[in-house]
Amino acid sequence: MASGRRTRFAAGKIPAETLVRAVYNNLGKGDRRVLIGPGIGRDSAVVKQNGAILVFTADPITGTPSHIGQHSVEINANDIATAGARPKWYLCTILLPVGTREDSLREITREIHETAKRLGITVVGGHTEATSGLDRPIISGFMVGETRGRVLSAENGRPGDRILLTKTAGLEGTAILARDQATILKKKGVPEGLLKLARSYQQQISVVEEALLASKLRGVHALHDPTEGGVLNGLWEMAEASDLGIEIWAEKIPVAPATQVICLTLGLDPLKLMSSGTLLVAVGRSKRWSVQKALMKSPRKMTEVGKLTARSKGRVIVRRGKREALKPVSQDELYKLA
């Protein structure tokens, strides 16, 4: 315990073992209406209220200073949808550096408005202030969703489930790097056309519709959207939440060409790069083809990348025929450039 008290955190998510020691045993008064509370791999809380089921989530945007309004609404909406609920109400706290101009705030709120309207979400409140000590705007979003159907969670995976991945790894991180590191990338020879393509990945960050569709399909047991730490961390979180083992086939995880070029240029691992926009689906083996077919009716890539196993079989990633331990990603690749 002494070593834990002396831990100093790097930028990004707090380590899972620290959350267990310092957070999950400090949860206030118990309430029997809480169906799902805090835990590793649990991105949303679920509460039963007067016959309805409400789903809550909160997430900040700290990895980029640009398009934070859009990012905040979509990232929070993704967490609600992966529980099988429709995102409905959004609030946020916007913290601005002292001296920020009004037009900068207006741009953030315009993005919030347009993104929320596109996803059918109502902005119901929040707080805005200029705060000393900041060098960029920070936004912390809070979203509430609602469902009367079944609730899904990353912890509901079963041994033998196949894991499907939508789209490609590192989408969000690629878009951010193409914007925020454009000068460096151009100096290293990355053409503007590729950077423009990479920036367009910003439009693929939402997983709301595919998550809601997947939540209704027979054979789907668990959903999870990998964010910080990329696809590999999301896969580890799914296994940890379900208390299962996992086997991942690295060569099958799809990576878009623009992501490959940018990561190779900057010396980053695309499988550990912020991956909002992808969705992990744990589905019973006998149903994986029907689920894959249903999800591919809309234009999105869908790939089988691994399987859940008994906990005793461990957590492994297979690279070029060699089995390695799959561990939680300690820091997203994006923060290595901070």
Number of domains in the chain: 2
**Same-domain check for residues 193 and 322:** yes
**Same-domain check for residues 190 and 142:** no
**Same-domain check for residues 245 and 333:** yes
Q: What is the largest CA-CA distance in the chain?
A: 59
**Same-domain check for residues 95 and 141:** yes
Q: Is residue 24 part of a domain?
A: no
**Same-domain check for residues 256 and 161:** yes
Q: List the beta bridge partners of residue 45.
A: 56
The pLDDT of residue 51: 82
Q: Is residue 320 part of a domain?
A: yes
Domain range for 193 is 154-337
**Same-domain check for residues 142 and 187:** no
* Backbone Cα Rg of the chain: 20
What's the CATH code of the domain at 57?
3.30.1330.10
Q: Is residue 1 part of a domain?
A: no
**Same-domain check for residues 108 and 124:** yes
Q: Is residue 317 part of a domain?
A: yes
What's the CATH code of the domain at 206?
3.90.650.10
Give me the residues of the chain with pLDDT under 70, please.
1-5, 297-300, 338
**Same-domain check for residues 227 and 318:** yes
Nearest to 233 by CA among 290, 297, 170: 170
**Same-domain check for residues 221 and 316:** yes
Residues 47-96 have pLDDT tens digits of 998 888 999 999 999 888 889 999 999 999 999 999 999 999 999 999 99
Q: Is residue 121 part of a domain?
A: yes
**Same-domain check for residues 177 and 94:** no
Q: Is residue 14 part of a domain?
A: no
Q: List the beta bridge partners of residue 56.
A: 45, 144
In whole angstroms, give the CA distance from residue 206 to residue 74: 6
In whole angstroms, give the CA distance from residue 218 to residue 81: 17
- Spell out the residues 6+ positions from residue 32 whose beta carbon is closer than 8 angstroms to its own: none
In whole angstroms, give the CA distance from residue 232 to residue 250: 9
The pLDDT of residue 217: 94
Q: Is residue 57 part of a domain?
A: yes
What is the reported pTM?
A: 0.92
The pLDDT of residue 204: 93
Q: List the beta bridge partners of residue 230.
A: none
* Cα distances (Å, whole numbers) of residue 82 to 217, 220, 279: 13, 11, 8
**Same-domain check for residues 66 and 122:** yes
CA angle 182/188/193 to nearest 5° reads: 55
**Same-domain check for residues 189 and 66:** no
The pLDDT of residue 219: 95
Phi, psi of 15 (to 5 degrees): -55, 145
Q: Is residue 299 part of a domain?
A: yes
